[in-house]
Amino acid sequence: MSPFDENAKVWMNGRLVPWNDARIHIASHVIHYGSSLFEGFRAYDTPKGTAVFRLDAHIKRLYNSCKMYRMEVPYSMEEFSQAVIETIKANQFKSCYVRPIIYRGYHSLGVDPFPNPVDCAILVWNWGKYLGDEALENGVDVRVSSWWRMAPNTFPALAKSGANYMNSQLIKMEAILEGYAEGIALNIRGHISEGSGENIFLVHNGTVYTPPLSSSILPGITRDSVITLLKELGIRLIEETVPREMLYISDEVFFTGSAAEITPIRSVDKITIGKGERGPVVKKLQEAFFAYINGEKVDTYGWLTYI
């Protein structure tokens, strides 16, 4: 994990403030009840300048998350998107990770969140490869977690909420303490869901499989991008319920996410996947993904917003 730059600036409720002044009160609702919705995405240093990857899609998902939790955001999506760009510019980053967050602030405490204001902030910082510098090529070792993803009609899995990531923390901590880079969670029916912070794909006999939204997954923006790239590459994709045992017999398994990008998995529960290294499908996807980001291919999908 890269350390924060304390000389940076944070956007809070319409103005840029010094990093160390970006504070909230201990009695803020979000601290006690987990009432936050957030996003995470990257800006890349391209030959044409700094470009944010799929800014519009991430802000749309953020606002959808807020809608599920009845949070009225005091800015339009266009205004919030422009605030992201202003924050990156103010910090003079060529590439960075971006974390917009919308949360219930300071007024009164109680489960009822409505009396509290809806506050907004945007942080940016340099963040390297989420699962390690060598992970994109060498892959990572993971385990199936003993912790399940939330059941339907408990928490909305389609929302990227701070509260949901308490579940993710349990998955991640268990994996780390047992010597793995990451954990894979199952849903309440015992089918594959996702990692603690990544979507998952499997390659079996030339076909790619990924769990559907009904498997308690977050609708990942990188996941959606990979689905688009698979179509471009002419590789068959099946989006359906995936049993746990498919992990062990697949030719390739990989994570996707804004932080993880496209990261191969070399073993699950100490069972080697394929040859225990990055496979041909992941390699093709990585090449296509980074070709768009690096400006080697024309951005026909409109994925890049230049700063």
HSE-CB of 106 using CA atoms within 13 angstroms: 5
Per domain, the residue ranges of the chain are: 9-125, 135-293
Average pLDDT over residues 212-228: 97
Rg for the chain (alpha carbons), in Å?
Answer: 19
Catalytic residues: 160
Q: Are strands 96-104 and 182-186 parallel, antiparallel or unpaired?
A: unpaired
The mean per-residue pLDDT over the stretch 295-302 comes to 93
Length of the chain, please? Answer: 307
pLDDT at residue 115 in the model:
97
pTM: 0.95
Q: Per CATH, the architecture of 135-293 is what?
A: Alpha-Beta Barrel (3.20)
Counting runs of H as helices and runs of E as strands, what totals does the chain give?
A: 8, 17
d(CA 251, CA 248): 9
What token pair was written down for 56?
């519009």
- Give the pLDDT band (50/70/90) at residue 123: very high
Inform me whether the pLDDT recorded for 29 exceeds 80.
Answer: yes
| CATH number at 9-125 | 3.30.470.10
Average pLDDT, the chain: 96
Beta strands in 47-114 (DSSP E): 49-53, 96-104
Tens of pLDDT, residues 222-266: 999 999 999 999 999 999 999 999 999 999 999 999 989 999 999
**Confidence at 2, pLDDT banded by 50, 70, 90:** low
C-alpha distance from residue 279 to each of 44, 104, 138, 182, 205 (Å) = 25, 44, 10, 19, 12
